[in-house]
Amino acid sequence: MAWSLTAALSGAHTIGHAKKENSGYDGHWSTVADQGKFNNGYYKSMMTHGWGPERGVGNNTAKNQWDRIDVQQCNNPHKEMMLNTDLCMAYQYNTKHA
Average of per-residue pLDDT across 60-80: 87
Q: What is the pLDDT of residues 17-66, one digit of tens each?
A: 999 999 999 999 988 888 888 888 888 999 999 999 999 999 999 999 99
d(CA 14, CA 30): 7
Give me the domain span that covers residue 12: 2-97
Number of domains in the chain: 1
Identify the CATH number of the domain in which residue 73 sits.
1.10.420.10
Q: What is the pTM of this model?
A: 0.79
Which residue spans within the chain are E strands per DSSP?
17-18, 27-28, 51-55, 64-68, 81-82
What is the rounded distance in angstroms from the CA atom of residue 46 to the CA atom of residue 74? Answer: 20
